[in-house]
Amino acid sequence: MGSREVYIDLGANVGETIANFAEKNPEALIYGFEPNPSLAHNLRARFNDDSVLIFEKAAWILDGVKRFYLGHDLSSTLIDGKRSMPDYPEFEISYEKYVMVETIDLSRWLLDTFTENVHITMKIDIEGSEYKLLQRMLDTDAIDLVKTIYCEFHYDRFPAISVETHELIKSQVAQRSDLKVWR
């Protein structure tokens, strides 16, 4: 792959960041990953364009199939144990309500798909999965392919993710990519 600008949206949701990036970078190749079937369907309809590829898969550390817990569209997750947030009902998860979704080993996909001469910008909003995903990217050196990462971190919503883990991964990613805390 040449020196083309690439945007990868993990947790594409309704596609707002895809639309914003495409408007500012009309020649870019864009990949959106959205495991929620209804949202993925809407994204494919919204971006009926060869420069935007939508994958109905969850960005993860392995290829396979995994439970994807649903709540409001803003609150679905692969990760068990999200804290209840009664003040923000739009972020609540129902652990009884889930669909089985295909997962992709994002690190392997990055290493198989791109070379270092591509400029990749990535947005990560994957509701707690970012820690395992980023650790795998660090372990495989896939992180070195991504020039800029906008990441929404969720350590405060998942008790199993400690502040120390959050700070360590954030620090390690920032040493190898231009990390911007999103939102």
Model confidence pLDDT, tens digit, residues 172-183: 999 999 999 987
Q: Which residues pair with 9 in a beta bridge?
A: 32, 123
Task: Please give the model's pTM, rounded to 2 decimal places.
Answer: 0.95
pLDDT digits (tens, 9 = 90+) for 43-89: 999 998 899 999 999 999 999 999 999 887 667 999 998 888 888 88
CA distances 94 to 36, 79, 100, 149, Å, are 14, 12, 14, 29
Structure confidence at residue 91 as a pLDDT band (50, 70, 90): confident
Residue type, 149: I
Place of tokens 């360590």: 168
Quote the CA–CA distance of 17 and 138 in Å, as a whole number. Answer: 24
pLDDT of residue 1: 43
- State the average pLDDT over residues 18-37: 96
Q: Is the pLDDT of residue 29 over 60?
A: yes
Residues 6+ apart with CB under 8 A from 165: 131, 155
pLDDT of residue 78: 95
3-state SS of the chain is CCCCEEEEEECCCCCHHHHHHHHHCCCCEEEEECCCHHHHHHHHHHCCCCCEEEECCEEECCCEEEEEEEECCCCCECCCCCCCCCCCHHHCEEEEEEEEEEEEEHHHHHHHHCCCCCEEEEEECCCCCHHHHHHHHHHHCHHHHEEEEEECCCHHHCCCCCHHHHHHHHHHHHHHCEEEECC
Lowest mean pLDDT among 83-97, 116-130, 168-182: 83-97
> β-pairing, 58-60 with 64-71?
unpaired
* Averaged confidence pLDDT in the chain: 93
Q: Tell me the domain boundaries of the chain.
A: 5-181
Place of tokens 């395992």: 132
Q: Which two tokens stand for residue 52?
A: 């935007």
- State the average pLDDT over residues 93-107: 94
Place of tokens 């009309």: 26
pLDDT digits (tens, 9 = 90+) for 107-116: 999 999 998 8
pLDDT of residue 113: 97
- State the average pLDDT over residues 88-110: 92
CATH number for 5-181: choose from 3.30.70, 3.40.50, 3.40.1000, 1.10.357.
3.40.50
